Structure 1
Amino acid sequence: MIVTEFVLDARLEKDSELVTHLGLCQLRLMKDARWPWLMLVPQRADMVESFELAPLDQAMLTFETNLVATALKTVTKARKINIGAIGNVVSQLHVHVVARHEGDENWPRPIWGHGLATPWNEDEKKSFLQSLSKELSA
């Protein structure tokens, strides 16, 4: 039996930064300040689809997605939280959790493939992550 270790896809690593480790997932912040945009990456090797996870990991992924989505909605007071696990470009299993507001850069259309990423202002990022952390631990 060959056992492989979890390795984060280089494209996910380049486009995001680690916020924290949850029970199953890495919680990552996308390097695009146009939207409060988080990503969950289950720390399991060679996963592409959520249904390929063990049943307990599937439950954990759902729990962690809901935990993050609830915290993000509270912190941002977003009109809508978008959750997606598309993976057409990067097949490694990852779940996007994005806060959307009416009037944001591409409302109500999807964020994927729209414009160029805008880097976070360091102070705004720090404040956002502190608020998020507080909400996640509540």
Structure 2
Amino acid sequence: MTPSSAPFALDPQLAADACTVGDLTLSRVLLMKHARYPWLILVPRRAGVREILDLADAEQACLFGEITQASRVVQTLFRPDKLNIGAIGNMVAQLHVHVVGRFKTDEAWPRPVWGAGSPTPYGAAELEERLAMLSRAFGRI
């Protein structure tokens, strides 16, 4: 699919499932509303983009740099046993990349987090604290 000339809009499902941390050069950084996992989602702010190959070469390089940056933030703040990174897109077609910190003690280990129990929501204060911590870690994005 060719990227659209329409303005960027976040898919409604992503907007419902996550909170905005801020914007990097290319991507909007989201925090998944699932308190059991340190779970970020990067969404390139390009309308009509469904696959990484839909991005220009320079944008692909930028996205991979931002995935690395998000991975370092999760690794530094949460010290997971493993990072899971994926751009599946079967449920939400808009290109988005998950960066999930995994622990050998989490309920889904070693299976994928998708479909493993119901999401545990953040409390209001916990969510505010987590978003502020992530924003600081990304350099006040």
TM range (shorter): over 0.9
Post-superposition CA distance 1:52-77 (Å, at most 9, x none):
10111101100111001101110001
| Match of residue 137 from structure 2 | 135
The answer to whether the aligner puts 1:109 opposite 2:108 as a matched pair is no
TM-score (norm 2): 0.91
Post-superposition CA distance 1:25-53 (Å, at most 9, x none):
10001111111111000000100100110
TM superposition shift of 1:23 = 0.6
Listed as ranges, the gaps of 5+ residues in structure 1 are none
AA matched with 1:105: E
Which stretch shifts more, 114-123 or 7-16? 114-123
Listed as ranges, the gaps of 5+ residues in structure 2 are none
2-structure distance, mates of 1:78, 1:124: 19
Of 32, 35, 59, the match for 2:34:
32
| Match of residue 41 from structure 1 | 43
- Partner of 1:134, secondary structure, is helix
Of 12, 15, 33, the match for 1:13:
15
Identity of aligned residues (%): 45
AA matched with 1:102: K
Which stretch shifts more, 30-39 or 2-11? 2-11
Question: What is the count of residue pairs matched by the alignment?
Answer: 137
Of 48, 66, 79, the match for 2:81:
79
TM superposition shift of 1:137 = 2.1
TM-score (norm 1): 0.92
AA matched with 1:53: L
AA matched with 1:16: A
Q: Is the 8 A contact 2:108 2:116 kept in 1?
A: yes
- Partner of 2:100, secondary structure, is strand
TM superposition shift of 1:127 = 3.1
| Match of residue 119 from structure 1 | 121
TM-align CA RMSD:
1.5
2-structure distance, mates of 1:6, 1:136: 22
1-structure distance, mates of 2:61, 2:124: 34
AA matched with 2:8: F
Q: Is the 8 A contact 2:21 2:134 kept in 1?
A: no
- Partner of 1:46, secondary structure, is coil
- Partner of 1:99, secondary structure, is strand
1-structure distance, mates of 2:125, 2:75: 20
